[in-house]
Structure 1
Amino acid sequence: MNTIDKIAWIHVKNGQVLCARSRGQESFYLPGGKRDPGESDKSTLIREIAEELSVQIELDTIKFFGIFEAEAHGKSKDIKVKMTCYTASFTGTLSPASEIEELAWLNYKDLDLVSQVSQKIFEQLYALKWLE
């Protein structure tokens, strides 16, 4: 089985988690992306969030949240995605950039709007009472 290795940022505010939707896609996902060769998790997180959301992650606030795996959305059944998630503070104003068409604050009732791996993350956030 092939695995897509991604880094994701979990940013929760008022019982909702920040999600993004790429141009031409219907599903939302947690912001982040694939690491470049030799790039660390933290460097990937900082780069991807700056590219996608136009904000700067504060390095000293990055905290590991968990690793989640599921079938990759929109791919063949033999491809899964592994998402390593972090929380962190940021500076700047959130604004969609690069391939991102829309940002949305989603809560637990919005499970049907996100990919399978994001659903697993939403389940964990809900169990921790971070999501409404």
Structure 2
Amino acid sequence: MIIDKIAWLHLPEGKALLARSRGQDRFYFPGGKREAGETDEQALLREIEEELTVHLRPDTLQFLGAFEAPAHGQPAGTLLRMRCYAAEYEGTLQPAAEIEEMAWLTYHDRPRVSAMAQQLFDWLRQQGRLAD
């Protein structure tokens, strides 16, 4: 089974913004699944507004890459396929909906994040975008 998601990678000053849902033990990059008929952009803007109460600026949306990793908390063999974007935002970041906590993490925090986020942490560190 493949779970298809969209994610926002926001990394000011080398720290990554991650979120943790209620009842979950790992942090992940904010975003979510597309609803029927949604484009990547529409899904990402909707999900980020729902989860973190900010509006991503569509004119700043930049595709960063597509990644696959085992899906955390799912049956063995379930893959998470994620398309990742960067974008500037307007508003004040705060957890909403199912988000219990948001955090600014560095590579040192890698054990606290999902398998997909660990893969992205490695990639971002290799690019010099994520602080140790």
TM superposition score normalised by structure 1 = 0.98
- May I ask how many residue pairs the two structures share in their alignment? 131
1:36 deviation in Å? 0.2
Write the letter of the residue equivalent to 1:121.
L
Corresponding residue of 1:62: 61
Alignment of 1:107-126 (within 5 A): 107-126=106-125
Identity of aligned residues (%): 51
Does residue 10 in structure 1 map to residue 9 in structure 2? yes
Give how far 1:18 is off.
Answer: 0.1
Q: Is residue 20 of structure 1 aligned with residue 19 of structure 2?
A: yes
Whichever structure has more strand as a proportion of its residues is 1
The one-letter amino acid of 2:92's match is T
CA-CA distance at 1:78 after TM superposition: 1.8
**Structure 2 gap ranges (5+):** none
Partner residue in 2 for 1:90: 89
Q: Does 2:71 correspond to 1:52? A: no
Q: The residue matched to 2:104 in structure 1 has which SS? A: strand
Give the 5 Å matches for 1:26-41.
26-41=25-40
**Segments of 4+ moved more than 6 angstroms:** none
Once superposed, what is the RMSD of the aligned Cα atoms? 0.6
2: distance between equivalents of 1:9 and 1:64? 10
- C-alpha distance in 1, partners of 2:37/2:2? 17
SS at match of 1:14: helix
TM-score of the superposed pair, with normalisation by structure 2: 0.98
Distance 2:69 2:80 in 1: 6
